[in-house]
Amino acid sequence: MNDTQYEPWLIRPDLEFLNHGSFGATPRCVLENQRHWQNLLEEDPIEFLAPERSLLPKLDVVRQTVAQEIHATPHDIAFVRNATEGVNAVVRSWPLQSGDEILVTNHGYNACINAVSQAADSAGASVVTANIPFPIRHPKEVVQAIEQSITPQTAWMLIDHVTSPTGIVLPVAELIELAHSNNIRVMVDGAHAPGMLPLNLDQLQPDYYTANHHKWWCGPKVSGFLSVQEDFQDEVLPPIISHGANTEGYGPSQFQSQFNWPGTFDPSPLLALPTAIDFLASLYPTDAPNRLAGLMKHNHELVVAGRRVLLEKLNLAEPAPESMLGSLATIPIPAWTNHSPAQVQAVRNSLRADHRFELPVFRFDAANVCLRISAQAYNTLEQYERLADAVAKLS
């Protein structure tokens, strides 16, 4: 490992960290900025934190930053702790009726599928799963799988921008258009998208979009956003009902008022986000309108190259086209297909204990036990070469 490569980060130099996609990694300068905000809070707690004092202008600076990065209207943005909370807020507020169907996919994030299932059970609705193939050859297979699962009872749809288990970028523009053409509300779980992919919500026009700050934007943990089209904002309640429900001055709209104040909380993860994005923009500077375009290109090219190393070493076909990758890639390992849960855990343990790799190894379905790699600025191609050697020994 190259120590200077890790200097801006706190990742242990003896750890082959190929799992940025799970919780991200926060740079030193961002943590220092977060601590700065925490110190200011403790120096004058009421002035800093009370919504009727100076909290809201600080949150609005972050809101403006997020809006600029994702090409959205600040008025439509509220803050949540993470994308799972954003999904919960929407699906638990949505007025489901008995007999309604919610459409999800088999590539969805388990926590969010659980939230959808609980809301459906409570309303007497049902959850329908569109089975997208994996391995996959073309984005049209995604559209076909979802289109074939739509019925007259489909009222609401949850899709991922980038799938967590399989690491593929879904054709969300086509899927949003498909949903709207069938009079279906659509929510996009964009947990991985900001910082990985260019985003323009003004063009995409999802009814709801939620994402994390801590993943590919590298913000401190416990920070995310929820964007809701203005026509639907009055329907959406935060998971915690607090003073904003009936107190003036907590935000310019009832929507933001309710989300701005969940009760006493630490806003420093939110307030440090602009520093995180500025840091990322400095790594691969570009004159492109999207100031993270250079970093996105670097990470995409690195994960493609890293995946190619693994596929060639293991003599495997690509499980998804390179055009469907961002900076994640999932590879099914045929030699592990018949592994028991204990054997999968043993592989995971050996990669960590014997080879010092941190990355997900998991069963996706009956036919696929997979590993997933991430690529961020602190990773190198040599790490994927070492991983390929380790996986070959365990296969």
Q: What is the pLDDT of residues 96-112, one digit of tens each?
A: 999 999 999 999 999 99
Mean pLDDT, the chain, whole residue set: 95
- Report for 3-17, 234-248, 341-355: range of highest mean pLDDT: 341-355
What's the rounded Cα separation, in Å, for the pair 328 and 322?
11
One-letter identity of residue 250: Y
Q: What is the mean pLDDT of residues 142-159?
A: 98
Q: What is the mean pLDDT of residues 49-65?
A: 94
Q: Could you tell me what percent of the chain has a pLDDT over 70?
A: 98
Question: Is the CATH code 3.90.1150.10 the one for domain 291-393?
Answer: yes
What's the rounded Cα separation, in Å, for the pair 271 and 169?
29
Please report the pLDDT score of residue 357 as a whole number.
Answer: 98
Q: What is the mean pLDDT of residues 60-80?
A: 97
Residue 6's pLDDT band (boundaries 50, 70, 90)?
A: low
Determine contact, residues 37/267, Cβ cutoff 8 Å: yes
Q: What is the mean pLDDT of residues 332-354?
A: 97
pLDDT beyond 50 at 89: yes
pLDDT beyond 70 at 168: yes
pLDDT beyond 70 at 3: no
Q: What is the mean pLDDT of residues 8-15?
A: 94
Please report the pLDDT score of residue 131 as a whole number.
Answer: 98
Q: Which residues, listed in sequence order, are joined to residue 36 by a DSSP beta bridge? A: none
pLDDT beyond 70 at 76: yes
Per-residue pLDDT of 304-317, as tens digits, reads 999 999 999 999 99
Per-residue pLDDT of 219-235, as tens digits, reads 999 999 999 999 999 99
Please report the pLDDT score of residue 244 as a whole number.
Answer: 83
Cα angle 375-146-19, degrees, rounded to a multiple of 5: 15
User: Which of 379, 378, 375, 383 is closest to 9 using CA atoms?
Assistant: 378
Please report the pLDDT score of residue 2 as a whole number.
Answer: 43
Determine contact, residues 323/297, Cβ cutoff 8 Å: no
pLDDT beyond 70 at 4: no
From the candidate CATH numbers 3.30.1490.20, 3.40.50.410, 3.40.640.10, 1.10.540.10, the one assigned to the domain spanning 32-275: 3.40.640.10
Q: Domain coordinates of the chain in residue numbers?
A: 32-275, 291-393
Per-residue pLDDT of 111-133, as tens digits, reads 999 999 999 999 999 999 999 99
Residue 373's pLDDT band (boundaries 50, 70, 90)?
A: very high
**Whole-model pTM?**
0.95
**Which of helix, strand or coil describes residue 247?**
coil
User: Which of 280, 187, 267, 264 is closest to 222 using CA atoms?
Assistant: 267
- DSSP strand pairing (77-80 vs 224-228): antiparallel
Strand segments (E) across the chain: 16-17, 77-80, 101-105, 126-130, 154-160, 185-189, 208-212, 224-228, 328-332, 357-358, 361-365, 368-374
Q: What is the mean pLDDT of residues 357-379?
A: 97
